[in-house]
Structure 1
Amino acid sequence: MIRKGCLDDQLFIMGIIHNAIIDMEAKGIYQWDSIYPNDEVINNDLSNETLYVYEDGGIIKGIIVLNEYQDKEYEDMKWEFNSGKHLIIHRLCIDPKYQGQGIARLLVDYAEQQGKALGYESIRLDAFVNNERACNLYKKLGYKAVGIVEFRKGKFYCFEKGL
């Protein structure tokens, strides 16, 4: 089941993020750390009711944040869809012990359903260039890379999909 996260979920969510950071670093992927995403970022997501959890059997196995916030670096991208509203995916994260079960796909599908229902023209997101698994997922789901932005941890592809 996918539901909005609540403040009571924060400790568990931070545990998932911590586990994901350890797993990514073991694979040579250095996109997240203790600076981002931190407690304050997740608390803001929860307070703004933009963080959703995938829960199965009472266990939160993954998260996704959906909102309209676009980093200023997005301004230089050659987006294909420019006339309407855009839903942005942030912080998609699956607990490493539950990866490979299709949970990320379910969360992205949920984002697309929400985007369509709320009248968004497209979904936009960025993914760390060295996170091949994430980049391949988005490509497989029909997202098109429109350029590269640079953040504190390195280069990220910007992806977009029309709804």
Structure 2
Amino acid sequence: MGELRIELYQPSYQSDFVRLNSEWIKTFFHLESSDRVVFNDPEGYILNKGGQIFFVVNKYGKPVGCCALMSHPEKGIYELAKMAVTPGYQGKGAGSLLGEAALAYARSNGYKKIFLEGNTRMEASIALYKKLGFKSVPKRGASYKRCNIMMELYL
């Protein structure tokens, strides 16, 4: 794990953000219009609305995973979203690094609650979210058809 580090979004990482997320979504589901909206403009849709995007980068400087904290100002909460780790780095701590970095950022910025939308087919992801402290809640107002579980964490 010492070869992995966390970096914040930079414009040169936009294609990696799309690649990493498209990789897992296309493997298990299909891209939805809400995915495409975020992929086309992560700066406008995430960063400019008060969110942040995190990348786990290998020793060669290549992004091998990512996740975002997306602001939902109308609800006064944040969403952990677009978490992806390329297959060769799954099970090696990359997802934990991303989740821990996102939660540390959220705490340092005074976030009170984070929610996420997931799918129980993604067993490793659900296990990671539980390890990070997320709890299942009733599903409501999901943004993605593939969502069959919602989880939240109070900070």
Indicate whether the TM-score tops 0.5: yes
- Residue 159 (str. 1) matches residue 136 (str. 2): no
Q: 1:36 to 1:120 in 2, by over 3 A?
A: closer
Q: What's the TM-score once normalised by structure 2's chain length? A: 0.77
Runs of 4+ in structure 1 over 3 Å off:
149-152
For residue 159 of structure 1, give the secondary structure of its aligned residue in structure 2: strand
Q: Is the 8 A contact 1:143 1:161 kept in 2?
A: yes
Q: 1:155 to 1:55 in 2, by over 3 A?
A: closer
For residue 100 of structure 1, give the secondary structure of its aligned residue in structure 2: coil
- Residue 64 (str. 1) matches residue 57 (str. 2): no
The residue correspondences of 1:1-16 to structure 2 (distance < 5 A) are 1-16=5-20
Matched residue, 1:86: 77
Structure label with greater radius of gyration: 1
The residue correspondences of 1:94-113 to structure 2 (distance < 5 A) are 94-113=85-104
C-alpha distance after superposition, 1:113-157 (max 9, x if no partner): 111111111221111233222112212222110112455524431
Q: 1:18 to 1:122 in 2, by over 3 A?
A: closer
Q: 1:20 to 1:116 in 2, by over 3 A?
A: same
Q: CA RMSD in A?
A: 2.4
Q: Is the 8 A contact 2:8 2:53 kept in 1?
A: yes
| Structure 2: tracts of 5 or more residues without a match | none
Matched residue, 2:129: 138
Measure, in 2, the Cα distance between the counterparts of 1:60 and 1:154.
Answer: 25
Q: CA deviation at 1:110?
A: 0.9
Q: CA deviation at 1:101?
A: 0.9
Matched residue, 1:79: none
Q: Percent identity?
A: 22
| Structure 1: tracts of 5 or more residues without a match | 76-84
Query: Structure 2: which amino acid aligns with 1:10?
Result: Q
Q: Is the 8 A contact 1:45 1:65 kept in 2?
A: no
Structure 1 stretch 42-51 or stretch 130-139: which is displaced more? 42-51
Matched residue, 2:139: 148
